[in-house]
Amino acid sequence: MMEAILLVLTLLSIVKTKKWVNPASILLIMWVIIISLSRMGLYGLNATDEKFYYLIFIGLISFFVGFVLPKGKKRVVINRSWTDTSSFDKEDDMELNYRVCYVALICCILITIYKLKDLGFDFSNITLFGELNREGYGSKLANMLYEFIAYPLYNTFVCVTVVDFFFGRKDKWLIILTSFMCLVWILVSGGRIAFIRLLVSIIICMSLKTSAKQKLAKVFSNIKFLVALAVACAIFVHFTVLKGFDPLFNFYTDFAIQPKMFQYWAENINGQYAYGAASLFGFIYPFLYIVKNSLGLTQIPLGAAVYENIENTFNNWVTLGTSYRCNAYTSSFWYLYYDGRIVGIVIGMLLWGIVCKNVLKNTLNYPTIKNISIYILIMIGVIYSFTDMEFSKANYVLAFLFISKICFWQRRKRMK
């Protein structure tokens, strides 16, 4: 019954937005799959208390309400081509600053290489790096540059470069530097995240095309694109195999354990309330980090318990059944539950739905490279709700700042 209602709401969101791919449809269908797989209890997965399924259900309903209820001005119909955003950019007189982007990408690559060198990278066990608490390894300088510059820049350009490819001038240096950045990023993340986020960006850009079939055919007729896609898929499969699990078990683990992980960590916060600090920790952590290191403190001055509990979900491996020892995957619902239990889930998901609605509306009305990039970043947060709350990470929050204030500049007006 729960899953059926969510499927109906998925269809309503598609009708409302006239877009198959929208924040509500993606979130709802993804969680229908997760809930259904979790209830199966395959591979010895322990059963989840029904209470937590209902908390997730209530959160999804709240998101949908926030997504469809806010009313604003009627959507402006854009009668211009989506293949060239030069006319769109005139809406706010902003354009992509390619020289700044080149410098930023080079900085991201160099910092990532420095971080790898600092960690003592070893090609013989690349997947190990995906399991490390990277802030606990290496020097303070390497950790700071990685967390507050390199990682946010990665989140920035995995969106901006793809948007420029589909809607901008397809700048070759931007593509080359971003590709190299992703290859280096695989080494420091020890997994598939780089290709997953690139694929997400590509799919979302395609979903925004007014003539999707023709554009899709044109893209896939490009030999260079097909070769790059084949290489990316090969690397993706390679890293999946390196995990050492049966592919079906690996897939099931990725999309079934969230309710049980949510239950486990919800029962291990010892009556604490974060009052918004857990889900929005990414906004306050940079300031707390600066204060901590400036004063030489052993821990951050505020929210130390919140930070510790969040870190525990990533660093502590728990047993969920006969075949499972897992970390992370608490989902965004745990963060909101930690903030304020059911009230935190309802308010948090309602506000998140409103934000997604406004960002989508702004993107449809004014589809500039900047707005589309922000929309993709928002969508990445929605999709990754099955792992954690992206807004709890400084590297995700700072990416919005980099897109808004660094990648674009005011176009100079010519004197007549």
Judged by average pLDDT, the poorest of 236-240, 317-321, 354-358 is 236-240
Residue 246 in this model has a pLDDT that exceeds 50:
yes
Of 3-12, 41-50, 108-117, 133-142, give the lowest mean pLDDT range: 133-142
When pLDDT is cut at 50, 70 and 90, the band that residue 403 belongs to is very high
The first and second tokens of residue 304, run together, are 């130390």
- Report the pLDDT value the prediction gives residue 342, as an integer from 0 to 100: 96
Return the pLDDT at 156: 95
Q: Which stretches of 18-97 are DSSP H helices? A: 23-40, 50-68, 86-89
Count CB-CB contacts under 10 A for residue 358: 15
pLDDT at 28: 96
Crossing angle of helices 193-207 and 172-189, rounded to 10°: 140
Share of the chain above pLDDT 90, in %: 48
> pLDDT value at position 185?
82
The predicted pLDDT at position 76 comes to 44
Q: Choose between 409 and 79: higher pLDDT.
A: 409
Section 359-377 average pLDDT:
92
pLDDT, averaged across the chain = 82
Residue 81 has pLDDT above 90, yes or no: no
Q: In degrees, to the nearest 5, what angle opens at C-alpha 321 toward C-alphas 129 and 329?
A: 45
User: If we measure between CA atoms, which residue out of 263, 306, 258, 316 comes closest to residue 282?
Assistant: 306
- In the structure encoding, which two tokens stand for residue 249, read together? 């078990």
In this prediction, residue 376 has a pLDDT band, given cuts at 50, 70 and 90, of very high
Mean pLDDT for the stretch of residues 197-217:
71
